[in-house]
Amino acid sequence: MITRDKMYVNGQWQTPAGSGVAEIVNPATEEVVAKVSLGNEADIDLAVQAARAAFDSWSQTPAAERAVFLDKIVAGLEARTDDLADAITSEMGIPVMLCKGAQIGNPLFTFKEAAELARNYEFETDHGSTHVVREAAGVCGLITPWNFPLNQIGGKLAPALAAGCTVVLKPSELAPLDAFILAEIIDEAGFPPGVFNLVVGAGPVVGEALSSHPEVDVVSITGSTRAGAAVAVAAAPTIKRVCQELGGKSANIILDDADYARSVKGGVRLAMFNTGQACNGPMRMLIPRKDQAEIEEIALKAIETIKVGNPLEDDTYMGPLANKAQYERVLRFIERGIDEGVTVLAGGAGKPEGCDTGYYIKPTIFTNVTNDMLSAQEEAFGPVLCMIPYDTEEEAIAIANDNPYGLSSYIQSSDIERARRVGRQIRAGHVELNGARFDQGAPFGGYRQSGNGREHGQWGLEEYLETKAMIGYIPRKPKPKK
């Protein structure tokens, strides 16, 4: 049993003022593996004040020196990869085979990239007679989720530190163990007190306190659309910048000239990655109606390649859902889809064979889905793929855009120019063509109810910068007196 009864504020581990305790449950075993003390509004205020006091000095620290501190985080993450993998697998259930790449390798890349940006980004440029300065935006509140816990922390924390901001991090209280390890790494790296602060607590308590705090200049959240809206409402009275990376129901358009064997199998497996708990997952597969039977057969064979089970076994592809509440939500989603009249091609309600203990669910494919069904419009955040037949390319584009979200999309075609042409017509911030691997250095973020702002690369850095114009008026020399 792990006990985390301190928060990290102003360079010290301190007992929180809050009295609540969260039990961290391993979703594969349903056993409590850790107890974490929860903070409250007073803890947030203490952390924000520490970040405010540290801001002037840290923001004026040369960017090259900030890069050295980021290098130390990279070294610490590399040294503690096994500890982080154990923590993340135990707190949210991702198979260990996938954990070190997606859950640790990606944030490692992000911190390395932020260090390079700190060294090479042009924080000051000239525009005619005006000197334009990009400087730290201020104190940042970072609110992160449980599905990719360390990755989402990295996507916010790394660029914020590179920009010269000070931060208060509120990770999900359902999966905070990796954040404590990161705090230990930052402490050992010798960051100035107050630059980084960690407070764990419930969203309606510490999340709202952080979002509404008048001394916070920027708040960035990754979470549900509902949570993003709540943060924006809390932040509105103090007119702070709000960055939101929220939900999605991404379309994967299989065009009629695609390699079906490759693209359908890849689409099914990607939909089931991380047990479907990915806001950018390709959860609506749009398929040519004339080839529906062929595509469904390929999809069934693809499902058979997915091993569901113990996340500690090397050949497991899909572990449990991350927590009991999410397990129950996804079961309700499946049951409602059946009531709506979808055809269950694979899976369905109930646990997979041999998975009686743990929050396991069958990888599920709905077919004969129409885009007006709730199954097609709402995010399951679980391993439920909806197959939607279409007749023409124009109809496929219209279906893809007929959704309140706009985070990601996927296009499959043997003609890359056709794929790009279709991709340009999709209202989403992120388009992957023909199974391209996720580019961790490219801008990532959504349109519409998927949020605003971008993470990663220079676009992510610029979310934490303010722009100042210093207009270079040069007074005339006075005329000499006669």
Provide the token pair at 262.
């490759």
Mark out the alpha helices in 321-473 (DSSP H runs): 324-340, 374-377, 393-401, 416-424, 457-462
- Residue 268 burial (CB count, 10 A): 26
Residues counted in the chain: 482
* CA-CA-CA-CA torsion sign (214, 215, 220, 223): negative
Closest CA to 349 of 339, 359, 364: 364
Catalytic residue among 99, 165, 243, 279: 279
Return the closest-CA partner of residue 200 out of 382, 59, 29, 34.
34
- Helix runs in 257-405, H state only: 260-272, 292-304, 324-340, 374-377, 393-401
Q: Decide if 165 is catalytic.
A: no
Helix, strand, coil content of the chain in percent (nearest 5): 45, 20, 35
Judged on CB neighbours under 10 Å (0-12, 13-18, 19+), 304 is exposed
Token digits of residue 220:
């960035």
Burial class (CB in 10 A: 0-12, 13-18, 19+), 73: buried
What is d(CA 448, CA 460) in angstroms, rounded to the nearest whole number? 19
Tokens of 376: 């097609």
- 3-class DSSP state of 385: strand
Catalytic residue (one of 173, 245, 379, 455): 245
Q: Which of 416, 442, 418 is nearest to 429 (CA)?
A: 442
Q: In this structure, what are the phi and psi dihedrals at residue 24, rounded to the nearest 5 degrees?
A: -95, 120
Which residue in 109, 419, 110, 432 sits closest to 270, CA to CA?
A: 432
DSSP secondary structure code for residue 444 in this structure: B
Closest to 238 measured CA to CA, from 270, 216, 206 = 216
- Phi/psi at 405 (5° precision): -95, 175
In the three-class reduction of DSSP (H, G, I as helix; E, B as strand; rest coil), residue 186 is classed as helix
Please say if 245 is a catalytic residue: yes
Q: What angle do CA 60, 63, 69 make, to 5 degrees?
A: 105
Residue 453 DSSP class: S
| CA 81 to chain CA mean position, Å | 20
d(CA 205, CA 285): 38
Q: Which residues are catalytic?
A: 245, 279
